[in-house]
Structure 1
Amino acid sequence: MKDWLRKNPHVRTIRVAAADLNGQARGKRIPARFADKVVKDGTRFPFSILNLDIWGEDIDDSPLVFDQGDQDGVLKPTERGFMPMPWLEAPSALLPIWMFRENGQPYDGDPRHALNAVVQRYKARGLTPVVAMELEFFLIDDSGKTMQVPASPRSGKRRKAAETLSIRALDAFDTFFTDLYDACEAMDIPADTTTSETGLGQFEVNLMHCDDPLRAADDAWLFKMLVKGLARRHGFAASFMAKPYAEYSGSGLHTHFSVVDEKGENIFDSGGPKGTAQLRHAVAGCLEAMHDSTLLFAPHMNSYDRLVPDKHAPTAISWGYENRTAAIRIPAGNPAARRIEHRVAGGDVNPYLMLTAILGAALSGLEDGKEPPPAVAGNAYAMDLPQIPATWDAAIDAFEHSDTVYRFLPKELIHNFVQTKRQELHYINELSPEERIELYLDTV
């Protein structure tokens, strides 16, 4: 890590940052000449900082604050190391960190540690998840009273219509996407294909598959930070909020995953289109946990505006082969690449908690060996199937009282997340719809 700074002497400041429960970057700015101390000793801030609400406020009655004296945790660099921050004007570097207790034990309220615990359980079975993500977001001109698609830097015109898989839409913002791909390369984020989507000014970028789930979640977290920061440099906003426009489809964060054994062979590959019994067991685990863990896939009030029928987001707890109306899709293609696509999460999630829920549920399914219900064929919206919670408060209740989520999340994190969401639910009811959009636009 020290070598990176020595090879980049132009870097003047660093940011050390960890992801809180909402996926917000919390940390400090430090002059680059003091970076060696951070690398060696880490830094410190209160445990409660990873348990702030969406406004950045303490959680009322949280035991982390006054009951425990607002004690410090120790934050140490992750294996990611330093990387540039191309969205800032001054040469700067970001150092991702995660939280530990004074005795060196991982802090259970840190979402990255929750994911690592699930990954270690896979490793104990000789298994490795391979993960890829598809992140949708909107480019938005929020300079006026009404949000709208930004004017094209090329033509100066606004295309106020859906531009599904439109090359013209991509070319209209070619300067932004060129800078984005250059920045991804500099930060070692594996950005692959970009497409324009069905929403107004909506795009999707795919991140390549990775056999390190922690790194995959890092990539998604860093990518969201990068896109939002870089868009502001280009004079508009980028937002991963689930549903900025009522009349258009929202933004998802679809996750594809397979599992390989110690020989590097995909345990979902049967040599044919249907996959193995282990694939079905993993699907069964995901379906069984889906209702109670919806809060991790849809963590905000606006999230539930996306989860409505016939708007390209799942509402039924279901699975199917090559079926995008189902919550879980098994894509067609080469059997060696047989995988599960989990389609519930919105773009507004914390990637660490989302991936913990998906991989943790799949592992529970592999451990239990249960069979899923029959795969659906046709329009899942029109079928009589178990449903994902339709409201934020229902999802909070299901998460809080679940027996399922304790199989892959520590009790402290569950308690902290419930307190966070209940506080947000209380205070957000005081806001107008316009104020809610303004809140979510830049934060999530």
Structure 2
Amino acid sequence: MKSHAATLLAEVRTFRQNHPDVRYVDLIALDIPGHFYGKRYPIEMLEKVASGSPLKLPQNAVLLGAQGGLFKIGDYCFNDGDPDANRRLVPGTLKPVNWESQPLGQMLITSDGSDAPIEFEPREVLAKVLERLHHKGIHPVVAFELEFYLFDKKLDNGLPQFARDPLSDDADDQPNLHIERLSRFNDVLDDMAQTAKDQGIDITVITAELGPGQFEINFGHLDDGLRAADWAALFCRSTRGVALKHGYRASFMAKPYLQFPGSGMHVHVSLYDGAGNNLLAAHQQQPLRHAVAGCLELLPHCMPIFSPNHNAFRRLGGTVNAATRACWGFEDRDACVRIPESDPRNLRIEHRLASADANPYLVLAAILVGLEHGLEAKQEPIAPLNEDRASGTDFPVEMLDAVRAMQHQPVLRDKLGAEFVDVYCENKRQDHLAFQQEIHAREYRWFL
């Protein structure tokens, strides 16, 4: 069996043979707000890294705010000397970038699996959750679904404009689910799908969603939760790049239009034992009910993860299929936790609350912790919406309330890591306060 370094080196050399015109590779990782950071490496230096040379980036790059600024979080950023931290290359993620003007490659990097993982790095948080579940004999199978909007490339005084219909050049301003919209926007959608496949992502169903210029793309089910979250992160990056190449903007913003549906990140999760048996389907599906109860119990405390910014809270309620309370149901898209109809082998939950711009590593980690907690606590859930349309428990709908609900929750501090919870909550608190430090024109209209 090849050593880890030999496998990576073979991957880099094969890439160079297949893409001789690529001179640089972007080494990238996702920060807390869900943005990629990293460095552009000459392809020759990448071979050295693959062979074992150190790969170091500032530890505090993970802590950047939504606008890239640094916040004082404990001793991080301003009292720690801004130290470097080791990263490693993620095998199998070296792929060509075809949306840039010049040939380029990209590859994921991470601190998880290194000698000193960064406790608050999103991928490391998920890796620890998955490792703990595997030790308990629980093996998740995961599939993401992501909604997004297409806008015209040009903004109107900073505001998005409807995408132009390529056949009529009119604004695509009619919300619908018509299959013809897929045909009208086929060129850009096909390029998005093919580019995602070139990144190794298993693209399945493409849907024209209800909002004008809104689409959803589904991914295949994976028994590797880290790779599933990698797919979601990489898809967002490639989709934005391909859209610009075609004269559009693609955005995963949670609620770009008040009058139209927001964009969500739906996550399907099933749990299996080592023999491949569906754990949720055992004993007349009693574990499913326990898992649902755990998800609903922790959901109000995970809102800063599921709704990671001010705009994401706008998506909750007021439009179709966006719940305002923690609830569940069978084949019910108004529920936060939906149980799709399936045979026992494929029994799963669909978690529908997260916004499309949430961090996929943290969303999946929070969902899995809810399922894990439910299986351990063995509590019965509240009534499903199918039995009681008023069923549900309240969750915070403003960021500062949500942060307070998350920060001292003992299960989250134990299972996601106390250091991560403290760092994440302070990052969200500071981001929210920074967002408030601008007087909107509406304030002058109302109060001047």
Structure 1: give runs of 5+ residues left out of the alignment. Answer: 436-444
Say whether residues 1:417 and 2:414 are aligned partners: no
**Contact 1:41 / 1:76 at 8 angstroms: preserved in 2?**
no
Label 1:55 to 1:323 Cα distance change in 2 as closer, same or farther (>3 A): same
Q: 1:41 aligns with which of 53, 64, 68?
A: 53
Shift of 1:219: 0.3
Match of 2:28 in 1: 17
**Contact 2:263 / 2:355 at 8 angstroms: preserved in 1?**
yes
- The one-letter amino acid of 1:184's match is A
Match of 1:440 in 2: none
Say whether residues 1:55 and 2:67 are aligned partners: yes
- The one-letter amino acid of 1:330's match is I
**Contact 2:23 / 2:42 at 8 angstroms: preserved in 1?**
yes
Per-residue CA shift, 1:251-285, capped at 9, x if unaligned? Answer: 010111101111112122359xxx61111111111
What is the total number of aligned residue pairs between the two structures?
Answer: 428
Shift of 1:62: 4.3
**Contact 1:297 / 1:346 at 8 angstroms: preserved in 2?**
yes
**Contact 2:31 / 2:62 at 8 angstroms: preserved in 1?**
yes
**Contact 2:56 / 2:85 at 8 angstroms: preserved in 1?**
yes
**Contact 2:261 / 2:319 at 8 angstroms: preserved in 1?**
no
- The one-letter amino acid of 1:30's match is Y
Give, in whole Å, the separation in 1 of the partners of 2:112 and 2:81: 17
**Contact 1:73 / 1:100 at 8 angstroms: preserved in 2?**
no
- The one-letter amino acid of 2:409's match is S
- The one-letter amino acid of 1:306's match is R
- The one-letter amino acid of 2:382's match is P
Shift of 1:387: 1.4
Q: How does 1:58-137 map to 2 (within 5 A)?
A: 58-99=70-111, 104-137=115-148
Say whether residues 1:154 and 2:167 are aligned partners: yes
Give, in whole Å, the separation in 2 of the partners of 1:251 and 1:147: 15
Give, in whole Å, the separation in 1 of the partners of 2:94 and 2:379: 43
Say whether residues 1:211 and 2:223 are aligned partners: yes
**Contact 1:47 / 1:64 at 8 angstroms: preserved in 2?**
no
Give, in whole Å, the separation in 2 of the partners of 1:384 and 1:113: 35
Label 1:318 to 1:78 Cα distance change in 2 as closer, same or farther (>3 A): same
- The one-letter amino acid of 1:412's match is E
Say whether residues 1:401 and 2:408 are aligned partners: yes
Say whether residues 1:346 and 2:355 are aligned partners: yes
Give, in whole Å, the separation in 2 of the partners of 1:109 and 1:183: 30
Say whether residues 1:308 and 2:317 are aligned partners: yes
Shift of 1:8: 2.1
Per-residue CA shift, 1:335-357, capped at 9, x if unaligned? Answer: 32111011110101000000000
* 3-state SS of paired residue (1:29): strand
- The one-letter amino acid of 1:409's match is L
Say whether residues 1:246 and 2:255 are aligned partners: no
Give, in whole Å, the separation in 2 of the partners of 1:73 and 1:160: 47
Q: 1:7 aligns with which of 15, 18, 31?
A: 18
* 3-state SS of paired residue (1:284): helix
Label 1:61 to 1:414 Cα distance change in 2 as closer, same or farther (>3 A): closer
Per-residue CA shift, 1:174-202, capped at 9, x if unaligned? Answer: 10011112112211111111111111211
Give, in whole Å, the separation in 1 of the partners of 2:98 and 2:317: 37
**Contact 1:325 / 1:379 at 8 angstroms: preserved in 2?**
no
Shift of 1:392: 1.6
Match of 2:7 in 1: none
TM-score between the two structures when normalised by the length of structure 1: 0.92
Identity %: 33
Give, in whole Å, the separation in 2 of the partners of 1:183 and 1:373: 43
**Contact 1:361 / 1:408 at 8 angstroms: preserved in 2?**
no
* 3-state SS of paired residue (2:383): coil
Q: How does 1:250-265 map to 2 (within 5 A)?
A: 250-265=262-277
Q: 2:384 aligns with which of 353, 375, 386?
A: 375
Per-residue CA shift, 1:218-251, capped at 9, x if unaligned? Answer: 0000001111111111111110010000101100
- The one-letter amino acid of 1:112's match is R
Please give the root-mean-square deviation of Cα atoms over the aligned residues, in Å: 1.9
